[in-house]
Structures are given as C-alpha cells and as structure tokens.
Chains A and B, each alone.
Chain A
C-alpha cells in the first residue's frame, strides 16, 4: 500500500473510485476527471490516465456517457492543442458502443476536439480515425463516422477529399438503415464544408440516393436536409435540384414523409426565391393542406401563418385562404385546433379589409367550435387580431364563447380560460369587462375544483394589477370580501388566499381599512384550518402595512392564536409572530 500525504487523501480516493464497484462512485470520479488530471500532471495524464480510460470501455453506459462528455473538454489537461490527438483513441472506442446516447456524445466531443486540432494533426490522426470508423464492422461505428466528416473534410488534401466524398457516398448506400439515417441527418453539415463544384455533383447524387430510399425513416430525414442543402446552393441550382425533390416528396406515398414536408416547406421558399415559390411550392402546400391524412393537415395547418408571411397578400388570399376556410370545418378536431392556434397571426399579414371580409367569418365559426381547444386557441391569440381590426367586431361572438368555456365541465378547460382572462381584460377594456366577465371571475372563486379556485384567486390579483386599485376597490374587493361568509370552510380559505394576493397590489391603506378587518375576523373561525391560514396571511401582510398596525392589530390577534387548542394553529401563529419580531428589529 502506498503512503499518501494527508491533504492528498481526497484525490487519492477519487482516483481509486474510478474502479469502485458502486456505479455512483465511479460516475462521481469520472465527473471529476479534470481534477484527477491536474493532480497527475499533463504528462502522466497523457501517458497513463488517457490509456487507462481507453481500456475502460465496457463500463456501464452512464459512466461511458460521462466519460465521453468529459473528454470533449480535456485538451487543457493533456498539455494543449499539440497533444489533442491522444484524446482520440478512447473516444474512437466510445463511438462504437451500442448505446446511442454514448455514441452521440463521443461524436460531439470528437467534433469539439477536432475543431481545435492543428491541421497536420487532423490529417495524421483525425482523418484516419474517420476512415476506420466508416469501414467499421459494426453499424455503430459507421453511424458515428457520418457525424465526423464535417470536421475532417476541410483540412484534408485534395486526394483525401475525393476519398472522403466517396466514403460518404458509400455510407449513404449502407445496408443498415441506421447508417443511412445517420448519413441523411449529417448530409447538410457535411455539404456545408464541401466545395461548390462537388456540392453540385457528388453531394447532390448522394442526396438523390437518400431521397429514393426504400425506408421511410431515411426519406424523412432526407426531407430535413432539403432546406439545409437548398440554402447552400445557388438559387438556380436549388430550383433545378431541390425543388423537384421537394415537390415529389410532397406527393410521397408515405404520409410521414408528407408530414415532414408540411413542416419544412416554408423554409424552402426563401431558398428558391419568389417565382418558383409561386409556381411550385404554393401548389404543393395547397395539396398538403388538403391531404387526406389528418396528421399531414395538422402539420400544414400549423404552418399556415409562417407560410403566408413569405408570400405576398394576394397569393395568400387567392390560394391559401380558400384552404383555410375548408380547414376551419375540417372533420378532425386536431386540424381545427392547429389552425386556430395560428390563424389569428394571419390578420397582420393580410391587412385590415381582407381580415374583416375573409378571416372574421372563420374566427367566428372557430369560436363556436364544439371542441374547447379550438375556441381556447382562438382566444389565446386575440391580441394579434385586435391590432388589425379592433376587438369590437369579435366581441359579440366572444362573450358566449368565453362564458361557455368558463362553465365547461372539464376543469382543465376552465383553468385554461382563466389564464387568458387578464389578456382578454386588457384587450376588451374595462367597460366590457365590468358588464360581462366580472361575475364569472367571482363564480370561479366558488368552483368545486381546487385548482380553479386557486387560479381564480390569482386571476383576481392580476385583474387588480391590470385595472388598478381604484377599479378593484369598486369591482372586485367588495364581492370577494362578501364571500368570506360562505358556509363552507374551503371557500373561505380561497378568499383568505385571494386577500393575501390582493394586499400587495392594493397597498397599505386599503389593506388596513378593508382587508385586514376581514382577516382578523376570520381568526375567530371555528375551523382550525382557517385559523392557521389567517396566521399565514397575517405574516404575509406584515411587510405591507404600517408598524403601528402590526402592533395594534396583527400582533394581538397572533398572540391570541398562539394559545389556540390546535397545534397547527399555534405553530403558524408562532411562526408569524417570530417574523413580525424580525421586521421590528430591522
């Protein structure tokens, strides 16, 4: 046994625990690998620690994952960039393990190291590593290699570049779908490093292979590459090579591929320019909006505003709007819901008149939708329309929709509408709110579900913030305080909660004159739960009110509560008293 100086014990333990049987201890040591490296010094880190880690490749995946991550930032500990290559072998091994997340992390770390390595080291160490992985016997190695070309390629000499392109092309045609998926995923990044002439020839032919793959999962990822590649190519090349592919994809047999196109299409519009967008992409998009698979329509409907923003208003009105109309009565509620969540954003795009003429009827019909999510989605984006046409045109339909949602039998729906009430209040203005919504807000305080009452109390506070204390004094506070006499203690508790939230907003005067007496009164309640909540509320009120009030009103009440027969009441009363003492000392 080696003798270790006392100050070194922790670090010695840490090193020993690299091989502890308990995975948590091993993980901890790996997480502190940089400390170990500093203790060993750069040279021994290179010669001992790194090879040691390299042999540690059959550890549990969690440990390997941590190791892959730590090694990515290890360059300073092995003596700087000129020694970075010693980090490659252990990471290369990790690139071949079975667990996807470990491999991904190892690839990420290799990229990070490779990006800092000197050019001659990349040629001498990094590129051979990429080639070894790409020729690996197991698909795991080949999957990992795809993510490394973007680092290897730029510094390779010409002959090697040709070889690397050929290898990547092979990977695009690998037997294993996993490898082809990885090649498809990384194609965009690799393409970004490839010179323009090769881009047009080699990369595009790889891309073509991937777009015709038998496996839907590979084609899906090729769709994602379309936009990335499109941005690299000159507009005319993009039109010549990418556009036909995307138009083809938009009619793919597999709905999953069309779904991806629907999600990505608007990104391509910029790459191809306005004319091809008008002639090719708009028709493709219209087809997707009318797809017979609901999932595809959901994706397409969700992008309708983004797409319209790229088009000019005339095109949008001429081509997209008719589809939007159809979608607003789609048989799938999810399609309507997706449409409702974005359609309000079309108002600023189309301008005032088309919005009133064309969109308003759609808004109104969606506001009457049988599916609550659709109505909620419309209401949540109300501000976008308000800026364009004002709220008046909508308010007639809005109110019944809100009332119906407010009384929906599903408490989650009620909860959702409560969240939007402050937004609605600010958009609709005080007058409208007073007439129609005030009563609803009070009604929620008496809801049967706790979450609703809780949200309602919070809502009351936000309304007071929105319209100011004077308004609240008139329209909220009296009604709220009235309810403290509710026979059910749970409702009384909600009111106490509302008071504690309102107090900071209303300010000291109103708190003392209106709120505090009610709370003090509640301390005589017969239910202990109310009483200890009184103690909690009083504690929260102490910082707001004047010291004299604390002395005169709050403390006597708390003192009384500390003698309550109920243990919880005594506990919270004592706690509140202590905090009042602290305030006094300040």
Chain B
C-alpha cells in the first residue's frame, strides 16, 4: 500500500487555515427570482487535471466549464505590465458548452417514470482534444464525447451546390434518360459506375473533376455526441458510478447491486456485489454509494445505509459478496435513539487522491478512515451539531434523508462538505490541524462566518489522532436566523490540485479559492 506519505508525512506543524475568497458564480439568481426545478444542480465533478468542470442538473443537462487562467497564453508579458495589476493566480473557469444528456422516460413494464435528473458525472481519460465523460440518471448511464470541431466552409464543388441536394436528384434533373433516377445516394448510380467500367477512366484521370476546396476557419464548434448507452442493468436507482484506474472499466451501483462494465461494451455488465436478500422482507441495509480505489484496480469501497463502509477485493472472487474489510464505528452505549439508524446512513464516500484514506459523510458528521485501520475513523468532524435537537423536525419534513456529498483536497490536508442555509464547511485533517471554517455559498462567503473563539484546548484524544471539532458552533447562525432547510448545499467538489471548491446552491454554481 503506497500513498502513506499523504498525511503521515505532513510537516510537523499543521498547515495554516485557509483564507477563502469568492471567485466566481455561474447562474446566480437575481433577488426574488424563482428557481426552476429543472435548473437545480444535482452533480458536480472536476476532471483529473482540474482543467474542466462538469455539472449536471435535474433537467438532465450537463454543463461543462473550462479553466481559463492556465490556458491564456495569448496575453504577452508586456501587455500585463501595461495593465499594471496583479495577475490573478487562482483558477478561473468559463462556460464551455452544455448538452442534454438524459430525457424523461417511462418504463412501460413497471409503469414508472424515469426522471432525467443527473445523479452522477464521472470524467474518463482524455484523448486528443476530445473530452469523455459518463453521466447517469436513475437507470441509464451514458458515455459522452465532447469534441471541438473546426468550422469548415466548402467551396468549389463540381456541381452547383444549389442543385446538388442529393446524388439522385442531380442525376434526375440532368439526364431524363436515366432509367432509375431518383434513388438518393448510391444505388441509382451503381449501374452508371459499372457502365463506366474500369477502362472508362483515362490513365491520367479526368482533369475536369476537382475535389471540394475546404476553407478551415479559426472558429470552432463544440459537439457532444453520445457514444454509448449502458442501460437495462439496474432494477433500482443508480446512486454512483466510478471509473477504474485501468482506464477500461467502471462500476455502477444501485440500492442493492454493483455492476462492472467495460467502457467499450454497453451490451453486458457483470454483477459483482448483490446484497438483495432472498426475501425483500429481510431487507435491512442498502448500498448508498460506491467508489473505485484511485490506483489499485482491484479495490473498491461501498457504503451502506447502516453506516458501514466495505472494502472489497475484485481479485478474490467474481462475486464479491464478502468484504475484505469493514469500517464501522461501534455505537456509543446509551446514545441510541429513534434517529440513530437514520442519521448513521452514509450518503457519500470518497477516496483520497493516493487511496490511503476514505472520507465518508453521514447526516451529522464527516469521518476520515485509514484503510489500514478498521477499528474506527481517524478523525470525525461534526458538520452541524446544532441540528441535533431538531432531528424531529428534520425527520418530519424529510430533510433527514438529504444526501450530502463530501470531498477531499488534492493534498489530502482538508475535507469539505455541505449543510443547510447554503453553507458548507471545511475542516483541516492534517495531524494537529484545528482548521474549521464555515462558508456560505454567496458572493460574500464569510457573511455568516462564526467568529471562532480562541482555540479551545484540544482533547487528549488527539494522541490517537482522533479529533472532534465543530461542535463549538452555536445552534443558530451568527445573524440569529433560523436555519433554512430548503436551501441545502448537497453537491460540492474540490479541485484536484488547487485550493478551489465548486459548490452548488440550487441552480447556482459558486467557486471559492484560497
């Protein structure tokens, strides 16, 4: 197992807390503007290099953004000097293109509507100028290729373009003697070729013929084409897709099963995990999310509604119903309540970049696990402890079932996740770090920033590298407002190499850098 140097080999002093600043917003709402349901963002994903960002929404659209700051070689140094202001160093993105990935469908056999909402997006290996990504709704995964095509103008045709609609029509308009003139394309002039026969063409060719001249302009068009559709493999709703490090396979997970696909073969997949009990009455646990290890092609982790994470080894057997490792936190004695099981459900798991750690998010906490230690998490972060007294309300309005995502920074020193009132929290997870920041997805992220009191003395448990923080945040926000359960920040992603977080507040995409 390599990748051990991620946190362990961190500098003895923890990194300084980051100072987050607003960078950009796409699709910002004007005051009083109502959010259209279809515009609400439902997935965010950076590609491996961080040069591209994709978002998916409930309307089945995928929007792509590209990084601009690293690419702008056009501006000369001299120009910059003339402009005389500091070059912005943080990554900036611009809208690249968008396409309709999924459409609403109806399953006639089961009499079920299939929503077009994009559940997950995953980038695939880039080749040439083309970008590849997988997008999925509840049932169908699609493989998209987005390619820049130069706009070409064709001139100098052999025939008048206005007449040359199709081969057949030309033939018919030109020669009335032609016996079968009006078949478009090919079939009608098969005969004519044969009549021409091999020796019709003189050895030097026919000088009157010419190839169409193509004028390539600098303009480019982005074209998105669906290359493959992987369907009919899931009886339940797909919650995750994840690429394998081998570059040729990926998994898709629904509530009860995980399937393995080859990217090039859409007609079949292999079931590798099946937790469906023989009798559905016995169902106690469902799969909530799954992810491949970033480098080990044989390992994948999946989380469950009971709060456990299972690591499985694809090498061991074809059907991986038995796990290699189980990560579970023993329930604290006496703390059990009606909500214990509900809030234990894990909504998202992510591997750290090197694959040494797994980050999981349940309703109340973020937990960081070392894959070499299955006795308990190495760190637990309370995301919104002030909501604990309100669990009853949250249960009644179904908010308790919200699925918050989580993410790790590229260097593995920090983790982030969302909460209600459009806020998200960033925690330092390097040993000794006490960083804990609350930001609001708005142009002024620190508006609600709670003045953290001078650091409280850290518990002795830090020796075991178990840190608990965040519980010092008061029950209401700094403005004393009641929390708004309708504005929740579910989706966010950390740039793979820079300190940049992209997060979704309803239909708006906010980006913050540090």
Question: Is B108 at the interface (CB under 8 A from chain A)?
Answer: no
Scan residues 95-123 of chain A and give those whose CB is less than 8 A from a CB of chain B.
96-100
Scan residues 1-57 of chain A and give those whose CB is less than 8 A from a CB of chain B.
1-19, 22, 24-25, 28, 32, 35, 38-45, 48-49, 52, 55
Main secondary structure of the interface of B (DSSP, over half): loop
- Check A139/B127 contact, CB under 8 A, given A28-B186, A254-B298, A255-B318: yes
Give, as a whole number of angstroms, the nearest-CB distance from B217 to chain A: 13
Q: How far is the CA of A505 from the CA of B235 in the complex (A)?
A: 51
Chain A residue contacts of B205, Cβ below 8 A: 38-45
Give, as a whole number of angstroms, the nearest-CB distance from A352 to chain B: 39
Asked whether, in the complex, the Cβ of A10 is within 8 Å of the Cβ of B171, the reply is yes
Q: How far is the CA of A481 from the CA of B146 in the complex (A)?
A: 66
Asked whether, in the complex, the Cβ of B193 is within 8 Å of the Cβ of A10, the reply is yes
Asked whether, in the complex, the Cβ of A4 is within 8 Å of the Cβ of B127, the reply is no
Question: Is B166 at the interface (CB under 8 A from chain A)?
Answer: yes
CB-defined interface of B211-230 with A at 8 Å, one 1/0 digit per residue?
A: 11010100000000001000
Given A6-B175, A12-B158, 16 other A-B contacts at CB below 8 A?
A1-B157, A8-B208, A9-B174, A12-B209, A13-B158, A13-B189, A14-B167, A14-B189, A15-B210, A40-B206, A49-B211, A139-B127, A177-B247, A177-B248, A214-B297, A217-B248
Scan residues 126-153 of chain A and give those whose CB is less than 8 A from a CB of chain B.
138-140
Q: How far is the CA of A120 from the CA of B206 in the complex (A)?
A: 32
Q: How far is the CA of A247 from the CA of B114 in the complex (A)?
A: 50
Asked whether, in the complex, the Cβ of B315 is within 8 Å of the Cβ of A41, the reply is no
Scan residues 118-175 of chain B and give those whose CB is less than 8 A from a CB of chain A.
125, 127-128, 130, 132, 145, 147, 149-150, 152, 154, 157-161, 164, 166-167, 170-171, 174-175
Asked whether, in the complex, the Cβ of A25 is within 8 Å of the Cβ of B212, the reply is no
| CB nearest neighbor in A for B168 | A13
Asked whether, in the complex, the Cβ of A15 is within 8 Å of the Cβ of B209, the reply is yes
Q: How many residues of A contact B (CB 8 A)?
A: 62
Asked whether, in the complex, the Cβ of B317 is within 8 Å of the Cβ of A293, the reply is yes
Give, as a whole number of angstroms, the nearest-CB distance from A210 to chain B: 14
Question: Is A58 at the interface (CB under 8 A from chain B)?
Answer: yes
Q: How far is the CA of A19 from the CA of B192 in the complex (A)?
A: 21
Asked whether, in the complex, the Cβ of B174 is within 8 Å of the Cβ of A8, the reply is no
Scan residues 223-246 of chain B and give those whose CB is less than 8 A from a CB of chain A.
227, 245-246
Chain B residue contacts of A292, Cβ below 8 A: 317
Question: Is A86 at the interface (CB under 8 A from chain B)?
Answer: no
- Check A48/B211 contact, CB under 8 A, given A7-B196, A98-B127, A140-B127: yes
Q: How far is the CA of A335 from the CA of B484 in the complex (A)?
A: 58
Chain A residue contacts of B333, Cβ below 8 A: none
Number of A-B contacts (CB under 8 A): 165
Asked whether, in the complex, the Cβ of B171 is within 8 Å of the Cβ of A178, the reply is no
Q: How far is the CA of A215 from the CA of B315 in the complex (A)?
A: 11
Q: How far is the CA of A48 from the CA of B317 in the complex (A)?
A: 57
Q: How far is the CA of A145 from the CA of B245 in the complex (A)?
A: 22
Q: How far is the CA of A42 from the CA of B164 in the complex (A)?
A: 27
| CB nearest neighbor in B for A41 | B205
Question: Is B372 at the interface (CB under 8 A from chain A)?
Answer: no
CB-defined interface of B279-310 with A at 8 Å, one 1/0 digit per residue?
A: 00000000000000001111000000000000
Asked whether, in the complex, the Cβ of B210 is within 8 Å of the Cβ of A216, the reply is no
Asked whether, in the complex, the Cβ of B204 is within 8 Å of the Cβ of A294, the reply is no
27 sample A-B contacts, Cβ–Cβ < 8 Å, listed by A number: A2-B158, A2-B159, A2-B210, A6-B174, A8-B208, A8-B209, A9-B159, A9-B174, A10-B192, A11-B196, A13-B159, A17-B167, A24-B185, A39-B201, A42-B203, A43-B204, A43-B205, A44-B205, A55-B216, A99-B227, A176-B247, A177-B297, A215-B297, A216-B297, A253-B315, A255-B317, A292-B317
Select B264's contact among A58, A100, A176, beta carbons within 8 Å.
A100
Chain B residue contacts of A177, Cβ below 8 A: 245-248, 297
Asked whether, in the complex, the Cβ of A216 is within 8 Å of the Cβ of B315, the reply is yes
CB-defined interface of A305-330 with B at 8 Å, one 1/0 digit per residue?
A: 00000000000000000000000000
| CB nearest neighbor in A for B169 | A13
Give, as a whole number of angstroms, the nearest-CB distance from B69 to chain A: 22
Asked whether, in the complex, the Cβ of A96 is within 8 Å of the Cβ of B175, the reply is no
Chain A residue contacts of B212, Cβ below 8 A: 15-16, 18-19
Scan residues 243-279 of chain A and give those whose CB is less than 8 A from a CB of chain B.
253-256
Give, as a whole number of angstroms, the nearest-CB distance from B164 to chain A: 6
Asked whether, in the complex, the Cβ of B185 is within 8 Å of the Cβ of A28, the reply is yes
Select B158's contact among A15, A181, A215, beta carbons within 8 Å.
A15
Chain B residue contacts of A8, Cβ below 8 A: 206, 208-209
Question: Is B479 at the interface (CB under 8 A from chain A)?
Answer: no
A-contacting residues of B (Cβ < 8 Å)? 125, 127-128, 130, 132, 145, 147, 149-150, 152, 154, 157-161, 164, 166-167, 170-171, 174-175, 185-186, 189, 192-193, 196, 198, 201-206, 208-212, 214, 216, 227, 245-249, 264, 295-298, 314-318
Chain B residue contacts of A18, Cβ below 8 A: 211-212
Give, as a whole number of angstroms, the nearest-CB distance from A100 to chain B: 6
Asked whether, in the complex, the Cβ of B246 is within 8 Å of the Cβ of A10, the reply is no
Asked whether, in the complex, the Cβ of A98 is within 8 Å of the Cβ of B315, the reply is no
- Check A178/B211 contact, CB under 8 A, given A9-B174, A10-B192, A216-B315: no
Q: How far is the CA of A295 from the CA of B316 in the complex (A)?
A: 11
Chain B residue contacts of A58, Cβ below 8 A: 147, 149-150
Asked whether, in the complex, the Cβ of B189 is within 8 Å of the Cβ of A139, the reply is no
Scan residues 377-398 of chain A and give those whose CB is less than 8 A from a CB of chain B.
none
Asked whether, in the complex, the Cβ of B247 is within 8 Å of the Cβ of A13, the reply is no
Q: How far is the CA of A38 from the CA of B201 in the complex (A)?
A: 6
Chain A residue contacts of B161, Cβ below 8 A: 16
Chain B residue contacts of A217, Cβ below 8 A: 246, 248-249, 297
Asked whether, in the complex, the Cβ of B211 is within 8 Å of the Cβ of A25, the reply is no
Select A11's contact among B203, B209, B317, beta carbons within 8 Å.
B209
Select B202's contact among A7, A28, A41, A215, beta carbons within 8 Å.
A41
Asked whether, in the complex, the Cβ of B298 is within 8 Å of the Cβ of A1, the reply is no
Select A98's contact among B132, B171, B314, beta carbons within 8 Å.
B132
Select B128's contact among A9, A12, A96, A181, beta carbons within 8 Å.
A96
Give, as a whole number of angstroms, the nearest-CB distance from A27 to chain B: 9
Q: How far is the CA of A55 from the CA of B247 in the complex (A)?
A: 29
Chain B residue contacts of A40, Cβ below 8 A: 205-206, 209, 211
Asked whether, in the complex, the Cβ of B193 is within 8 Å of the Cβ of A25, the reply is no
| CB nearest neighbor in A for B170 | A13
Asked whether, in the complex, the Cβ of A215 is within 8 Å of the Cβ of B208, the reply is no
Q: How far is the CA of A38 from the CA of B247 in the complex (A)?
A: 43
